[in-house]
Chains A and B, each alone.
Chain A
Amino acid sequence: DAGITQSPRHKVTETGTPVTLRCHQTENHRYMYWYRQDPGHGLRLIHYSYGVKDTDKGEVSDGYSVSRSKTEDFLLTLESATSSQTSVYFCAISGEPGSGYTFGSGTRLTVV
């Protein structure tokens, strides 16, 4: 499988606490994405990056911020976690045209 790793795999946190999820790739791909998956909503884009320090919002970006200081790392931060952010979070990467998108194994986040 492509070199994409998400950490942590599981996390339980309390409402109001900050949380950072990490996506790490070894493919030197330009594009990186964060999605969340919820029952009844499928996969929805939170934020994406098209290069180092270049990021943009997706369709469900409220309450989330991202950073990309290196090609290989894309961080998703929940500044103050809420119960509505309980979800499974997936990172994806995309490189040259024709290469498609590859997803990480996901992070299951529970906010209590």
Chain B
Amino acid sequence: GIQVEQSPPDLILQEGANSTLRCNFSDSVNNLQWFHQNPWGQLINLFYIPSGTKQNGRLSATTVATERYSLLYISSSQTTDSGVYFCAVTQNQGGKLIFGQGTELSVKP
């Protein structure tokens, strides 16, 4: 089955710093999403981005489907950005969402 690999596994930042998280996938996909799991365990949908670039405030994401990777960019990080960031993909509509292992981000004040 399709493999989803995220890097780095862990990241510690000082407040105000920028960061880039990467997601590589082993086969073509029709859906890619980025989620943030906050310290209370809630999974929050950040981006639905099977291809192209999207921006939402300090966060942006780019997926290059032909090269099988996606990037999540966090600018001017804040302590509330802490948590685990997951990339997840499916290969058909309604199909199983396959998760990467996540990047655990800690933003220090």
Give the interface of A toward B (CB within 8 A): 30-31, 33, 42-43, 45, 48, 50, 58-59, 88, 90, 92, 94, 97-103, 105-106, 108
Contacts and interface: CB of A to CB of B under 8 A. Distances in A.
Given A31-B94, A42-B99, A94-B93, 20 more contacts: A42-B102, A43-B86, A43-B88, A43-B99, A48-B96, A59-B96, A88-B41, A92-B97, A98-B48, A99-B48, A100-B45, A100-B48, A101-B31, A101-B33, A101-B45, A101-B88, A101-B97, A102-B45, A105-B42, A108-B41
Contacts of B102: 42
B101 A42 contact: yes
Interface of B: 31, 33, 35, 41-43, 45, 48, 86, 88, 93-94, 96-97, 99-102
A19 B94 CA distance: 27
Contacts of A45: 96-97
B94 A50 contact: yes
Contacts of B45: 100-103
Contact of A94 (B43, B86, B94): B94
B96 to A, nearest CB: 5
Nearest to B50: A98
A103 B43 contact: yes
A68 B90 CA distance: 22
Contacts of A88: 41
B102 to A, nearest CB: 6
A99 B100 CA distance: 20
Contacts of A94: 93-94, 97
A56 B102 CA distance: 26
A100 B96 contact: no
A81 to B, nearest CB: 21
Contacts of A50: 94
Contacts of A97: 93
Q: Which of B42, B48, B97, B99: most chain A CB closer than 10 A?
A: B97
A106 B38 CA distance: 12
Q: Shortest 10 CB-CB distances between A and B: which pairs?
A: A100-B48, A103-B43, A31-B94, A43-B99, A42-B99, A97-B93, A42-B101, A45-B96, A100-B33, A101-B97
